[in-house]
């Protein structure tokens, strides 16, 4: 690789701001905040709003859609087609 062309790729801790869960990975992102990790080293800390620990898709806390209600709402708004087509 050419020198000075690629950004600095270093270890970073990402922490979910809603659950407090954190994970260590490598990234080019920088941060003024730091955190002491379980291995005793200090790493830059990046707070994220959503991660796998708080995202509704991964936690199973999804909103249940009322599909019958949505279909009725569509028919009220746009009407039914004549002839079943």
Read off the pLDDT of residues 2-11 as tens digits, 9 standing for 90 and up: 788 888 899 9
What are the backbone dihedrals phi and psi of residue 76, each rounded to the nearest 5 degrees, phi first? -65, -40
| pLDDT at residue 13, as a whole number | 96
Residue 78: half-sphere exposure toward Cβ, Cα within 13 Å = 7
Nearest residue to 49 (alpha-carbon basis) of 11, 12, 15: 15
- Which region holds residue 60: left if phi is over 0, alpha if psi is between -120 and 50, else beta? left
Condensed to tens digits (0 to 9), the pLDDT of residues 64-81 reads: 555 567 777 788 888 877
- pTM passes above 0.95: no
Q: Is the pLDDT of residue 39 over 60?
A: yes
| pLDDT at residue 37, as a whole number | 94
Tokens of 73: 């709402």
Q: Where are the domains of the chain?
A: 10-77
């Amino acid at each position: 690789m050419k020198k000075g062309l690629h950004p600095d790729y270093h270890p970073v801790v990402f922490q979910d701001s809603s659950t407090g869960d954190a994970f260590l990975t490598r990234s080019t992102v920088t941060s003024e905040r730091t955190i002491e990790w379980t291995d005793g080293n200090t790493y830059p800390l990046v707070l994220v709003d959503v991660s796998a620990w708080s995202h509704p898709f991964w936690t199973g806390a999804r909103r249940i859609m009322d599909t019958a209600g949505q279909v009725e709402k569509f028919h009220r708004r746009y009407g039914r087609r004549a002839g079943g087509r």
